[in-house]
Structure 1
Amino acid sequence: MAAPLPLSDSSDPTFAELLALRPHLSLHAMDGLVMEEVPLARIAAEVGTPAWVYSAGALRRRARALKDALSGAGLDATIHFAMKCNDNLSVLRVLAAEGLGADVVSEGELRIARAAGIPASAIVFSGVGKTVSEITHAIEQDIFQINAESAEEIDMISAIAAGLGRTARVALRVNPDVDAKTHAKITTGKSENKFGVAISDAVAIYARMAALPGIEPIGIATHIGSQITAGMSAYRAAYARLAETIRELRARGLPVQRVDCGGGLGIPYRDEPAPSPEALAGAIKATLGDLGLPVMLEPGRWIAGPAGVLLASVVLQKQGAAHRFVVVDAAMNDLVRPAMYEAWHGIVPVGAARAASPLSAAEVVGPVCETGDTFARGRMLPVLAQGDAVAFLDAGAYGAVMSSTYNARPLAPEVLVDGARYAVVRERQTHDALLHGQRVPEWLAP
């Protein structure tokens, strides 16, 4: 039986409204907040907090929804999960079983993708600063595609591949100078951003690339930003410019085998509009469909974000001069998005009784010695006692991967829920591990 949910006096979504959009989460009268079939209170008690928890069912459902949208639009498409948002091995295995490849931005991510069982033939290597060793490793692995971001990088790839006696499949990433209307720190498709080559230079650079040894030019790529929620206009504008470029390349007799559409589809953290995968597929079909080319997508947040939560426990409540402070044991070193991007995350009590209690405004903060260690201001929450657990929603993307050990706080564990089962898929870091690798020089020895 579902527990009753209180209305909120604020303009924020209620607990009921938040959970209604996240079908892998539900609130039960006895068990409280449940992910799939596992009470999160059980995980908090047995694993401890803070802890990241991911829903395998949500990952599968969202991967399938995106695949269905693309196939429903009649597109020949492959999906390569953007590992920068979540590089947990078990998450990757779930997605690999759904037929997804990987989009990586470092040798480390490439190695993790391979360890997760993702074949090299399904891996794309993006990023503006690939090193010689990273490019070498990618070529030796014979990955599906390297997205080159500059003429200088193309020269590097050519020299390395030729030296190895190999041929690298390379797409040219273009910057279409399109404003995706997202946060300034995560927009990537404007002319002042560091990514890609100016679209006005793309044809000349592509032609030069086609003449170099060790390179097989296979297409054009773009990525205009992350957490795009302002409709399809930015996508349509970017893809239309890609289509123009591809037509010009073909007119010059240059080979184009596929087009990489990037990622960036946003999710509703609060109550912001969220474009559907069907809308994105429609934008691709409308602008690129008549080219007859396979397309690639590199989503991350849209698949993994809603699938995860960060569990935290209340350390204490503190009544300040102006505010009620709820201090939790998670901090900005765990979930940095609120401090870095002023990001909003839903916060739901894990206990059923707390979720049904009267609400009042609270500042939700962590224990790190920074005023920026603040998760929420004026959030409508019940009175919470020491040890009560709360869940930060939509923490499956850009959560654990961006965490740190600031203030010598060990990294939190990661847990995968699959139906009625759950397992710790990354152990909590120990305090001793924080000292691993440190050395005191002999002249400082006692």
Structure 2
Amino acid sequence: MTTQNLPGQPHLAYRGNELFTENICLSELAKEHGTPLFVYSKGAMLAALAAYQRGFAGRNVQICYAMKANPALGVIQVFAEAGCGFDIVSGGDMDRVLAAGGRAENIIFSGVGKTRAEMRRALQAGIGCFNVESEAELEVLSDVALSMDLRAPVSIRVNPNVDPKTHPYISTGLKGSKFGVAHERVLQTYQRAATLAGIRVVGIDCHIGSQITQEAPYLDAVDRMLDLVEAIEAAGIPVDHIDFGGGLGINYNGDTPPSADRLWENMLAKLDARGFGQRQLMIEPGRSLVGNAGVCLTEVLYLKPGEQKNFCIIDAAMNDLPRPAMYQAFHQIVPLNPRPEAPDTYDVVGPICESGDWIGHDRTLTVQQGDLLAVLSAGAYCMSMASNYNSRGRAPEILVDGEQAHVIRQRETMADQMRQERLVGATPTT
């Protein structure tokens, strides 16, 4: 039997006429669990993590998985067992980390809109650090901590005004972004933090965006961050750790981001040159750990020829795979069982009642009704952003580990969707 690996997808390979992830046949999973279906490779996640670990060998670094990329409990468990910390953006995220075996002291709480209730819960749990994103948040956090007779550990998230050269919706370090404290006000904000009785300054943070495929924005951010650390410490405020965020891109369509180990080799060289090489570092990768580990399996419902377009209508939709509709994002689409016939060109679309419900434009495919397809690089920002639009249940999720396939989320039923709803005048059940 011949084996053919998919370019840029080392965990995916055709064995004969069947597509496998690790040692599991994907068409068999689709037949057993139905479609749409998300399948993740544990081996691919750990391989992506290993690239960061190689880059940080001998350094004092905490890798915190940015769980907004994929918050499935089974995925969080993989990284918790691998010794990772976690970057969260809500109280619900914290609950998921703790439920999956993560340690509170290894949690970083980011996000521009933390509520007082979330702050209290995080302080009670004993999280490691709040990434504070505004001066107003700093004041509120101090008040909440004082009301609990505590001091909140904080780093200030810097908006360094660095262009990450990515989609505007996922560029977070420019002046027009809602994220972080403006570079020009950072020193003043740290000086205010040092006077607040409920605040304990422990670090500094920045995160310039997502799906970044060039080194230059990171290296630019390093220089700006280190300039700030020098100014802050010259003002008498120690900075224990430096958090450079995440955002490293993956290969969706011939993208060529630097490998994590090479990127950090170059960034650490810059830190060493400026005397910060032994400082405690933190990073918050998300997409680069899980994006290429996942596929979405889907069935071809109908082929619909047209005068201007041929449509391949599948049972996965924008509620399952929101990235194309939201970001005009590209995902490779491949057959689970390739056919020898000549291909046609199709727009691959879902069944939702929206013209924006498309998964891929102008794709060359050889398909028939009933065939199974795999939408690649679907491990990040797909299920985490999935919805029940058109009353569609969210898809199940499978974690593959070698020859084992573990169901980590069951398919959502209509009863699941309607459980919290009530008809007017209905008697609530207990």
Q: TM-score, normalised by structure 1?
A: 0.93
CA distance in 2, matches of 1:135, 1:239: 29
Are the counterparts in 2 of residues 142 and 168 from structure 1 also a CA contact under 8 Å?
no
1:403 aligns with 2:386: yes
Q: CA deviation at 1:239?
A: 1.2
Are the counterparts in 2 of residues 235 and 283 from structure 1 also a CA contact under 8 Å?
no
Are the counterparts in 1 of residues 51 and 259 from structure 2 also a CA contact under 8 Å?
no
Name whichever of 127-136 and 272-281 sits farther off. 272-281
Are the counterparts in 2 of residues 318 and 324 from structure 1 also a CA contact under 8 Å?
yes
**Alpha-carbon deviations, 1:263-285, whole Å to 9, x = none?**
00001101022111123213431
Are the counterparts in 2 of residues 64 and 98 from structure 1 also a CA contact under 8 Å?
no
Q: For residue 412 of structure 1, what is the aligned residue in structure 2?
A: 395
CA distance in 2, matches of 1:3, 1:92: 31
Q: For residue 423 of structure 1, what is the aligned residue in structure 2?
A: 406
Q: For residue 185 of structure 2, what is the aligned residue in structure 1?
A: 201
Superposition map of 1:36-55 within 5 A: 36-55=22-41
Select the residue among 287, 292, 295 that pairs with 1:309: 295
Are the counterparts in 2 of residues 75 and 285 from structure 1 also a CA contact under 8 Å?
no
Q: TM-score, normalised by structure 2?
A: 0.96
Superposition map of 1:13-412 within 5 A: 19-30=6-17, 32-71=18-57, 74-229=58-213, 231-289=214-272, 290-291=275-276, 292-351=278-337, 353-354=338-339, 356-382=340-366, 384-412=367-395
**Alpha-carbon deviations, 1:236-291, whole Å to 9, x = none?**
11111110010111111111100010000001101022111123213431333322
Are the counterparts in 1 of residues 3 and 13 from structure 2 also a CA contact under 8 Å?
no
CA distance in 2, matches of 1:233, 1:217: 29
Are the counterparts in 2 of residues 180 and 224 from structure 1 also a CA contact under 8 Å?
yes
Task: Name structure 1 gaps, 5 residues minimum.
Answer: 5-15
Report the AA paired with residue 411 of structure 1: R
Name whichever of 356-365 and 62-71 sits farther off. 356-365
Structure 2 CA distance for partners of 1:283 and 1:200, relative to 1, 3 Å: farther
Report the AA paired with residue 116 of structure 1: A
Q: RMSD value over aligned CA atoms? A: 1.5
Structure 2 CA distance for partners of 1:283 and 1:202, relative to 1, 3 Å: farther
Corresponding residue pairs, total: 424
SS in 1 for 2:203: strand
Q: CA deviation at 1:295?
A: 0.6
Report the AA paired with residue 132 of structure 1: R
SS in 1 for 2:417: helix
CA distance in 2, matches of 1:359, 1:210: 65
**Alpha-carbon deviations, 1:156-207, whole Å to 9, x = none?**
1100001101121100111000110100000000011001111111111101
* Moved beyond 3 Å, runs of 4+: none
Aligned sequence identity (%): 42
Are the counterparts in 2 of residues 328 and 365 from structure 1 also a CA contact under 8 Å?
yes
Select the residue among 414, 417, 423 that pairs with 1:434: 417
SS in 1 for 2:56: helix
Q: CA deviation at 1:442?
A: 2.4
SS in 2 for 1:425: strand
Task: Name structure 2 gaps, 5 residues minimum.
Answer: none
Q: CA deviation at 1:388?
A: 1.1
CA distance in 1, matches of 2:138, 2:194: 10
Are the counterparts in 1 of residues 294 and 378 from structure 2 also a CA contact under 8 Å?
yes
**Alpha-carbon deviations, 1:109-159, whole Å to 9, x = none?**
000001110101111000000011111111111101100011100001100
CA distance in 2, matches of 1:307, 1:272: 16
CA distance in 2, matches of 1:254, 1:23: 46
Are the counterparts in 1 of residues 22 and 43 from structure 2 also a CA contact under 8 Å?
yes
